[in-house]
Amino acid sequence: MDISRSQHIPVLLEEIVKFLDVAPNDIVVDGTLGLGGHARELLRGIGDDGRYVAFDWDQRNLHEARRRLKKFEGKIQFINDSFDRIDHYSKVLRLPHVSKVLLDLGLSSPHLDVAEFGFSYNKRGPLDMRFSKDKKLSASLIVNKASFEKLREILSRLGEVPSSSKVAKIIIEERDKAPFTYTDEFAERIARAFAPDKRNKHMAQVFQALRIAVNDELNVLHNALHNYFDLLEKGGRMAVISYHSLEDRIVKNFFKDLFRPLETDPERALYSVHGEPLAEFVGKSVMEASDEELDINPRSRSAKLRIIQKL
């Protein structure tokens, strides 16, 4: 499938546009551009003097997004790098501050739909899962070389895979017969680890674990949240869409710490453990897709949106 034909429906678009509330002259950073579905709408709000800085680690996505957003040329800057490196690029691009931040942590449509991207267990693609080809670690390297303990840890911690020891054992048994090369072949050869009625769910967890490990996604997210909030101007807003419990927990705990930060002033700490809040929620504390959106885009089912404003 040609990436240019990939259908992309941005998740929770109405809520993002309403509550992120992009205004003329804003400096907006989109840390996870994908194919530019959210960007297309947000770019309409920044006016002639606004700036839109868009990150995507996957060069294939960035190339296609550039094509789709061509009419906004001059307003948008494309960066092929990990979105947690905003602290570096804020200096390079001379960003005095950031007004709005959007982080949509889900996979882009091509990652799920295009077999050659190697992220789907029911399509034949290379067992790769790297967002950037500059990375040395791939899913193939993990499943063919990692020790039993490392495999068990990755499956358990990053995928919450039940019976992770059993799955790791089967992976090692199978790779001793022949190395794993393709996504569908890998899924077929370890399928006996799961009951037939749970196979799809648990296979998705295995692939999630491998993808997170390959791209170090949890550390990237943790670093990014701190870096973006530090750069966010007073009154600026940050929107984060999470899709699975691991990343959602990181986002939720980070925001919780902003609402009840530890007091750093020694004198004030004598009276209270917590200082004044650094942020507040905009809209509901957690927003999810409506029934109407779910009918149009079933992939939005697990999405959770949180938006905060810096105080």
Domain extents in the chain: 3-110+217-310, 114-215
Record: fold of 3-110+217-310: Rossmann fold (3.40.50)
pLDDT grade, residue 6 (50/70/90)? low
Q: What is the mean pLDDT of residues 304-308?
A: 97
Q: What is the mean pLDDT of the chain?
A: 90
CA–CA dist 145, 228 (Å, integer): 36
- pLDDT band at residue 299, thresholds of 50, 70 and 90? confident
pLDDT at residue 161 tops 70? yes
pLDDT of residue 181: 95
> Would you place residue 47 in the very low, low, confident or very high pLDDT band (cuts 50, 70, 90)?
confident
Is pLDDT above 90 for 265? Answer: no
Work out the number of other CB atoms within 10 angstroms of the CB of residue 24: 10
Confidence band for 276, pLDDT divided at 50, 70 and 90: confident
The pLDDT assigned to 111 comes to 62
CATH number of 114-215: 1.10.150.170
